[in-house]
């Protein structure tokens, strides 16, 4: 099998993108390759040299159509009328082994007409963070883009300090953003707005093609997917950190990894982005910001949709979020037949976790092995607050006793949704530091662990431990 290009986005025309080749890295070296994706994409017959050439911008495949996409976006609430791929190139779209259309996008591919003052490069640090996070979320079952490979070379670039330039090849079902529609709507290019909607429906929502009101249905479908996505973020303790409309995928995938973070000790006010002084994208505001972004998309699509659709779209988002979040949280508690009263059960538990600053992931994983009436103190590191948890566990015991699952089935369900291993910021930082020194072994080890987040992996216990003091509350900037 070889790459089968079908560059549908490029055929939209020059108003949607700028044709440009990647600017290759000098003296490229492979850092890590996602081998599992090679065969499905048709790259399994490529030699190591050919893969390195592709992933570092030295080789443009036959039939590819490299381009930089144009879009706009609301950034921290303020509208930027033109953004676009300032350091990324969509190499082309290929059909995978399941006949699904996949974008191959090279991040750090050099300057484009949308680079503004940027140098068009990514740095090794940010590429590693995206590779690890996108693959971690994928294996957790959270909708996300995928990472295919990282390469680096001799080139250095200045951020806060001098860093190694790098490229990341991303594989995604789509690179269309909420901001893509904003760009055409607010420049009064309504013909192109309709064209983009038609492309999006044809490519990603084909069941809507025969709808009487396809653009109304598109907005509702995107609102639903966004509600689903953010429910997953909240249930797994993931903070995106920069939910601008240009970072929101139209198909509800986690997109454009920057200053993200998995919450460690439960803190609903957790801010992972040190540039977010006002906490706009704090963990407990992600539901609200998802709604804000759906409202922005509704306004952008207003020239094509039925008047008054906004309220319906926002209700769709809210109802989807609440339904999926409730379902995920009750499964995390091991309940098979959830009911509305269970909301108080998990909300009160979260209050306890917050009040005693307990590790979110470790607690729920420990709870997955709990036996009704067998005592709960072994789940708590500090017995000083056991008395505060006792009333909650009394309620939990009563609830489990009327549930339909056996103890064995409940443990199995809970271990399949409460991960043992997550990408803690300090683990990513350790992998970055060793890779920047030229040793990628820790990056590969961590990647292997994250591919099996629900497994026991007894020989990898050090990756499941509570975060050490030095690694707590690490914040990451947008700079990359």
Write phi, then psi, for 476 (nearest 5 degrees): -125, 145
Q: Return per-residue pLDDT of the chain as tens, 480 residues.
A: 478 899 999 999 999 999 999 999 999 999 999 999 999 999 999 999 999 999 999 999 989 999 999 999 999 999 999 999 999 999 999 999 999 999 999 999 999 999 887 888 999 999 999 999 999 999 999 999 999 999 999 999 988 888 999 999 999 999 999 999 999 999 999 999 999 999 999 999 999 999 999 999 999 999 999 999 999 999 999 999 999 999 999 999 999 998 999 999 999 999 999 888 899 999 999 999 999 999 999 999 999 999 999 999 999 999 999 999 999 999 999 999 888 889 999 999 999 999 999 999 999 999 999 998 788 888 877 777 888 999 999 999 999 999 989 999 999 999 999 999 999 999 999 999 999 999 999 999 999 999 999 999 999 999 999 999 888 877 676 555
Same domain, 143 and 236: no
Domain membership of residue 400 as a residue range: 333-415
Write phi, then psi, for 304 (nearest 5 degrees): -115, -10
Asked if residue 436 is part of any domain, the answer here is: no
- Among the three residues 145, 178, 211, which one is the final residue of a domain in this structure? 178
Asked if residue 248 is part of any domain, the answer here is: yes
Return the pLDDT at 116: 83
Contacts of 308 by beta carbon, 8 Å cutoff, 6+ apart: none
Asked if residue 467 is part of any domain, the answer here is: no
List Cα–Cα distances, 29 to 104, 123, 151, 152, 166, in angstroms. Answer: 19, 14, 6, 5, 9
Asked if residue 173 is part of any domain, the answer here is: yes
- Among the three residues 264, 296, 330, which one is the final residue of a domain in this structure? 330
- Among the three residues 178, 211, 244, which one is the final residue of a domain in this structure? 178
Same domain, 340 and 371: yes
Q: What is the token pair recorded at 88?
A: 């990324």
Asked if residue 313 is part of any domain, the answer here is: yes
CA 87 to chain centre: 19
Q: What is the token pair recorded at 432?
A: 């970055």
Phi-psi region of 274 (alpha: psi -120 to 50; beta: other; left: phi over 0): alpha
Same domain, 318 and 390: no
Same domain, 325 and 345: no
Exposed (0-12), middle (13-18) or buried (19+): which is 237, by Cβ within 10 Å? buried
Asked if residue 108 is part of any domain, the answer here is: yes
Same domain, 166 and 93: yes
Return the pLDDT at 478: 58
How many domains, the chain?
3
Asked if residue 451 is part of any domain, the answer here is: no
Return the pLDDT at 312: 97
Same domain, 115 and 261: no
Burial code (b: 16+ CB inside 10 Å, e: under 16) for 323-347 equals ebbbebbbbbbbbeebeeebeebbe
Same domain, 39 and 160: yes
Contacts of 176 by beta carbon, 8 Å cutoff, 6+ apart: 196, 200, 204, 249, 250, 251
Asked if residue 457 is part of any domain, the answer here is: no
Catalytic residues: 246
Return the pLDDT at 72: 97
Give rounded-to-5 percent helix, strand, coil for the chain.
Answer: 45, 15, 40
Q: Which pTM value belongs to this model? A: 0.96
Sign (positive/negative) of CA torsion 286, 288, 293, 298?
A: positive
Same domain, 397 and 283: no
CA neighbor of 340 nearest in space, from 399, 390, 393: 399
The C-alpha atoms of residue 245 and residue 44 are separated, in whole angstroms, by 36
Same domain, 36 and 160: yes
Same domain, 164 and 306: no
Same domain, 316 and 341: no
Same domain, 269 and 314: yes
Return the pLDDT at 377: 82
């Amino acid at each position: 099998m070889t790459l089968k290009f079908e560059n549908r986005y490029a055929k939209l025309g020059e108003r949607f993108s700028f044709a440009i080749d990647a600017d290759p890295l000098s003296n490229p070296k492979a850092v890590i390759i996602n081998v599992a994706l090679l065969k499905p994409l048709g790259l399994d017959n490529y030699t190591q040299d050919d893969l390195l050439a592709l992933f570092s911008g030295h080789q443009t495949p036959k039939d590819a159509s490299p381009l930089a996409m144009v879009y706009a976006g609301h950034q921290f609430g303020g509208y930027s009328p033109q953004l676009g791929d300032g350091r990324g190139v969509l190499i082309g779209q290929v059909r995978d082994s399941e006949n699904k259309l996949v974008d191959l996008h090279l991040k750090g591919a050099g300057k484009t007409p949308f680079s503004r003052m940027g140098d068009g490069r990514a740095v090794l640090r940010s590429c590693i963070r995206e590779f690890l996070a996108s693959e971690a979320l994928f294996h957790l079952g959270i909708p996300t883009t995928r990472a295919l490979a990282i390469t680096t070379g001799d080139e250095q670039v200045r951020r806060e300090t001098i860093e190694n330039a790098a490229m990341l090849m991303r594989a995604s079902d789509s690179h269309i953003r909420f901001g893509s529609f904003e760009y055409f709507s607010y420049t009064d290019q309504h013909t192109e707005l309709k064209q983009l909607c038609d492309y999006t429906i044809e490519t990603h929502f084909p069941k809507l093609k025969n709808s009487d009101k396809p653009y109304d249905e598109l907005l509702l479908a995107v609102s639903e997917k966004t509600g689903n996505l953010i429910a997953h973020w909240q249930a797994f303790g993931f903070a995106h950190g920069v939910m601008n409309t240009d970072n929101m995928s139209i198909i509800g995938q986690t997109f454009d990894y920057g200053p993200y973070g998995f919450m460690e000790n439960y803190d609903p006010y957790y801010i992972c982005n040190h540039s977010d002084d006002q906490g706009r994208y704090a963990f407990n505001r992600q539901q609200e910001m998802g709604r804000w972004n759906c409202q922005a998309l509704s306004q952008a699509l207003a020239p094509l949709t039925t008047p008054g659709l906004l309220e319906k779209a926002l209700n769709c988002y809210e109802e989807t979020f609440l339904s999926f979040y409730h379902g995920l949280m009750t499964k995390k508690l091991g309940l098979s037949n959830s009911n509305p009263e269970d909301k108080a059960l998990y909300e009160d538990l979260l209050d306890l976790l917050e009040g005693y600053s307990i590790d979110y992931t470790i607690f729920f994983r420990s709870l997955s092995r709990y036996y009704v009436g067998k005592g709960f103190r072994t789940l708590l590191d500090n017995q000083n607050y056991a008395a505060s948890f006792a009333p909650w566990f009394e309620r939990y015991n009563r609830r489990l006793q009327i549930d339909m699952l056996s103890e064995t089935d409940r443990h199995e369900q809970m271990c399949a949704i409460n991960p043992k291993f997550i990408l803690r910021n300090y683990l990513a930082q350790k992998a970055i530091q060793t890779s920047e020194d030229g040793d990628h072994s820790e990056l590969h080890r961590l990647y292997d662990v994250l591919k099996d987040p629900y497994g026991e992996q007894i020989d990898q216990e050090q990756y499941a431990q509570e975060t050490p003091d030095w690694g707590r509350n690490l914040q990451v900037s947008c700079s990359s």
